[in-house]
Chains A and B, each alone.
Chain A
Amino acid sequence: MSELTVVGKPVTRVDVNEKITGQAIYGYDLVLPNMLYGKVLFSPKAHAKIKRINTVKAKQYPGVVAVVTGEDAPWTHGESIKDKPFLAQEKVRYIGEPVAAVATEDEDMAETAVKLIEVEYEDLPVYTDPEEACKPGRGAIHENFDKYRKVEFIVGSHLPNIAEHFKLRTGDVEIGFKESDLILEERYFVPIIQHAAMEPHSAHAQFDKESGRLTIWVANDAPFRALHEITEALNMPKEKIRFINPLQGGGFGSKGGLKVEPIAVALAFHTSGRPVRVKFNREETFISTLTRHEAVVYCKSGVKKDGTLMAREMTIYWGAGAYAEKSPTVCIRGSLPAPGPYRIPHVKVDGYAVYTNKPVAGSYRGYGIPQGAWACEQQMDELAKRLGMDPVEIRMKNIFVEGDVSYWSERLHAVGLKETLIKATAAIEWGKKTQPTKFGTKIGKGFACIQKPTRSPTTSNAGVLVNSRGEVTVLAGTVEIGQGCNTILSQVAAEELKVPMDKVFMHPLDTDAIPYDASTTSSRSTYHMGNAVRRAAIHARQQIAEAASPMLEANVQDLDFAHGKVFLKDQPQMALPIGEVVRRKLGTNGVVRGDGSYTYEIGKDLDLETGHSDHASAFYMYATQAAEVMVDEESGRVRLLRMSAAHDVGKAINPLNCVAQIEGGLAMGIGSALHEEMVVDNTGKVRNPSFLDYHLVTSLDVPKMIPIIVECPEPEGPYGAKGLGEPGLAPTPAAIGNAVADALGVRVYDLPLKPENVYWAIQNKKKKDAA
């Protein structure tokens, strides 16, 4: 084929018009005919037995159509451990757990009716600290853990409240430490934060008794996985369940799995076929949907005088909250690369996903990488400092390069890490000191590197339809959550069929019409679905070429495509519009359908004892971000002066979109670095479940951002592309932490870098120095 025409170009988003006019219909906007309104009663207790639930008063309230409790919905779900009930059964495990729900004729009634449900609780001991909750002798949050249905890779523990224990064993760390000239051991902490997608959670469900069909309308980032989970929970035929995806107002990991869906479904079985809408408001979204794992990270490193890393030992306690959700896989995929993108001969990692009586933690953009990087990347700087080396130098000495074998036994390729490091640090003039202009402030620079795997193995399927008008429809199960997949996938189809972008349309997402896709997670879509759409488009192109061959009296191999036409390579005037080919072959209403599928097969499964795998991930994403900060020594306030973010994307299918992803990820990372934390007190109550008290990044908080695209092509990826969505926030806190330490000569070990944490770090250092 000829050179690229659409791929690699800064094409305008295909979904932007409906978004800037207010015409776009999101899940939260959806209204269905004859719809009922659902409202949930949430647990006010963090850990308690349910002694009695009385629904009589609620059922008698005017306008109430259904009241359901755990008794009416005796089902559980969970991606890897089936531990989560649709509605609480026998006990509650966190404040915010759905206990009961009502469906009413109007929304005002629902608010009142749900408060009429009476629940009697008996308190149980509350565990809020993941490190404490798994100490021997602690009571079980899940008494029946051993009996839960689970996937085969779950590794249990003799310790209490462990949902997963991940082990990585490479070499012998004791030997490594013995051979080291310097050993450093530190404890780092990352608090709970929340996705805070601007659209709160909601779901609509309808059950038709006659046909046995269950339809769920929800902005879920993995409708096929959600469908599978509902199927497994209800033991219904898969063909009877249908997910329809309205537009999604952001997700960042919060809208996968099942959140509001089980409540809507439980109600829908009791409404005589009428659809039910259940919306969470912002506070409910904060306490009852999903959070990012808090993590306690112990990191011990051994290094030679010349900076060569000899050994790294890490123990990570991932606070899972009350249910396992995606904790087992966050624990695995976050703990595995936690020692950083470096050649280290001796490595030992123990990751524990620990149940607590807190809101449920799960997937969050970055999937465990930010927590590990916060520890490992700061420790790299500490090691450098004590060895009298430049932080760049120590990394250059150890950093993964093409062909290295990682400490989990995988030969790495397409490693653009070094280039990201060089470019990100250059962009903030690394090595050049900036003099503070304000009295009482100090200026410092820092950076951090990360490597991120993607969920593997997974499959994407796609269909590409070409009609007699030459219009192309792409059937892909990737969910447009704001990341721009509809634009990227349209570009891929346009590229392969050589049609203009305005001839390409994305089919709405409906599991009845769209072929299977694993999920819109893990930065996997451009690579997996990009490959699937590309194959489907090529399949369609082949059929059109075969149909055109007799029409143009030419061999298939002598035909080429451009500008929506198929033509003879050496006689371009001998051409037919592709729509015309479809019409002549199949009639005016004829459609050519191409199908494509892509599966990345891993080699050996991750070994459960050593954590080793020769192909742990379809591809790896590499990034370096660098920050310059100004810190007020008296107040501890950190101000960002500028930040660069260099990301190896393999190939930028749409550079505009890549920059958008980098900037958005970076801003999110800045929030998590400087002020975001979901404060949960020791009774398990969230103290700041609102945008007033939970400080998201605003337009005033974002500094000058310098996004940098690095292209180190991935041979298996479409046009060389990898993924990009998640890494944007992963190195950010560590980069800023390193800059703060550079400015002050004091390291802060606990996120966020809010004034009081920085202030106390300064005071403690002063005390220590005085003593």
Chain B
Amino acid sequence: MKKKIQLTLNGKITTLEVPSHRLLLDLLRDEIGLTGTKEGCGTGDCGACTVFLNGKPVNSCLVLSGELDGTDIVTIEGLKIGPELHPIQKAFIQDGGAQCGYCTPGMLMMSKALLDENPNPTEEEIRFALSGNLCRCTGYAKIIQAVQDAAAELRSKNV
């Protein structure tokens, strides 16, 4: 059954008519064409499809479209600050945080969620925050480094 929903997607009010059972992940990728959000498992185990739902990170493969009316969604396509890359994105470039890049959008979103809550995380806190985001290429070292660098950069800006 199709349902009419209105949501804010990357800052823009969007009206859609979608089957209620459609996953947010599929809604983004197949209906809207935002393929930056990646599908790694479809069962909430890998974190590649992480997006912000009302300011909190969620696995978009575990959210049904029927629940989305009136929500605020931010995807990787909305991570930039205006035309500027987000400091987390810059840190991933500088430190080599991406290899194949498939887990990268989810990693970036989860990293942002961490830094929003905790601007000065320890290495252990970063490891813990990212433990639901699987990466098969990097061994995580450069990703952790990038989050640390981004945190420092963000703190220096806020001062």
Q: Which residues of A contact B (CB under 8 A)?
A: 12-13, 15-26, 28-29, 31, 107, 195-200, 247-250, 252, 281-282, 481-484, 656-657, 659-660, 663-668, 690-692, 696-700, 702, 705
Question: Min CB distance, B19 to chain A, in Å?
Answer: 8
Is A198 a contact partner of B92 (Cβ separation < 8 A)? no
Quick check: B100 and A22 within 8 Å, CB to CB? no
Q: B136 touches which one: A28, A248, A252, A660 (CB < 8 A)? A: A252
> CA separation between A371 and B150, bound complex, in Å?
40
Closest chain A residue, CB of each to CB of B132 = A698
**B98 interface residue per 8 A CB criterion:** yes
Smallest Cβ distance from A35 to chain B, in angstroms?
11
Partner of B41, one of A282, A659, A697: A282
Contact assessment for B101 and A482 in the assembled complex, using a CB-CB cutoff below 8 Å: yes
Q: B121-159 CB contact bits vs A (8 Å, 1 = yes)?
A: 000001110111111111111111000000000000000
Task: From the candidates B48, B93, B130, name the one contacting A699 in the complex (CB within 8 A).
Answer: B130
State the B residues within 8 Å of A (CB): 29-30, 33-43, 45-46, 48, 75-77, 79-80, 85, 89, 92-94, 96-105, 108, 126-128, 130-144
Question: Is B98 within 8 A of A19, CB to CB?
Answer: yes
B99 touches A482 (CB 8 A): yes
Contact A21 B89 (CB under 8 A): yes
| Cross-chain contact B138 with A199 (CB below 8 angstroms) | no
Contact A199 B108 (CB under 8 A): no
**17 contacts across the A-B interface (CB closer than 8 A):** A15-B101, A16-B93, A21-B76, A22-B105, A29-B29, A196-B136, A198-B38, A199-B38, A282-B41, A656-B96, A659-B96, A660-B137, A664-B99, A690-B41, A692-B43, A699-B126, A702-B141
With A and B bound together, what is the CA distance between A20 and B90 in angstroms? 9
* From B80, B93, B138, contact of A667 by CB (8 A): B138
Q: Contact between B99 and A691 (Cβ–Cβ < 8 Å)?
A: no
Tell me the complex Cα distance, A692–B102, Å: 19
**Chain A residue with Cβ nearest B130:** A699
Can you name the residue of chain A whose Cβ is closest to the Cβ of B99?
Answer: A482
Is B108 a contact of A198 with CB atoms below 8 Å? Answer: no
Residue ID in chain A nearest B80 by CB atoms:
A21
Nearest B residue (CB) for A195? B136
B101 and A19 within 8 A (CB):
yes
Q: What residues of B have a CB within 8 angstroms of the CB of A252 in the complex?
A: 136
Q: A12-B94, A691-B134 are in contact. Are A664 and B41 (CB under 8 A)?
A: no
How many Å lie between the Cα of A665 and that of B136 in the bound state? 9
Contact B141 A663 (CB under 8 A): yes
Provide the bound-state CA to CA distance between A487 and B47, in Å: 27
B139 touching A666 by the CB < 8 A rule? Answer: yes
B139 touches A664 (CB 8 A): yes
Kindly list chain B residues whose C-beta atoms are within 8 Å of the C-beta of A660.
Answer: 96, 99, 137-138, 142
CB of B98 within 8 A of CB of A16, answer yes
The one of A196, A200, A657 in contact with B39, judged by C-beta atoms closer than 8 angstroms, is A200
Point out the residues of chain B lying under 8 angstroms from A200, CB to CB.
39-41
The smallest C-beta distance from B88 to any residue of chain A, in angstroms, reads: 9
Question: CB distance B36 to A22 under 8 Å?
Answer: yes
B157 CB to nearest chain A CB (Å)? 19
Q: In the complex, how many angstroms separate the beta carbon of B99 from the nearest chain A beta carbon?
A: 4
Report, nearest first, the 7 A-B pairs whose CB atoms are least far apart: A22-B36, A482-B100, A19-B101, A249-B102, A667-B139, A691-B45, A22-B76
Q: Which residues of B contact A656 (CB under 8 A)?
A: 96
Q: Which residue of A lies closest to B42 (CB)?
A: A281
Contact between chains at B94 and A22 (CB < 8 Å)? no
Q: Which residue of A lies closest to B138 (CB)?
A: A664
Contact A20 B135 (CB under 8 A): no
Q: Are B36 and A21 in contact (CB under 8 A)?
A: yes
Question: Is the Cβ of A699 less than 8 Å from the Cβ of B131?
Answer: yes
Closest chain B CB from A16 CB (angstroms): 5
Q: B41: nearest residue on chain A (CB-CB)?
A: A282
> Given A16-B92, A107-B30, do A691 and B41 touch, yes or no (CB 8 Å)?
yes
Q: Which of B45, B96, B143 contacts A692 (CB 8 A)?
A: B45
The reply to whether A28 and B39 contact each other, CB–CB distance below 8 Å, is: yes
Contact A198 to B102, CB < 8 A, known contacts A17-B93, A664-B137 = yes
**Contacting pair B140 A20 (CB below 8 A):** no
Closest Cβ neighbor of B147 among chain A residues:
A699
B136 touches A197 (CB 8 A): yes
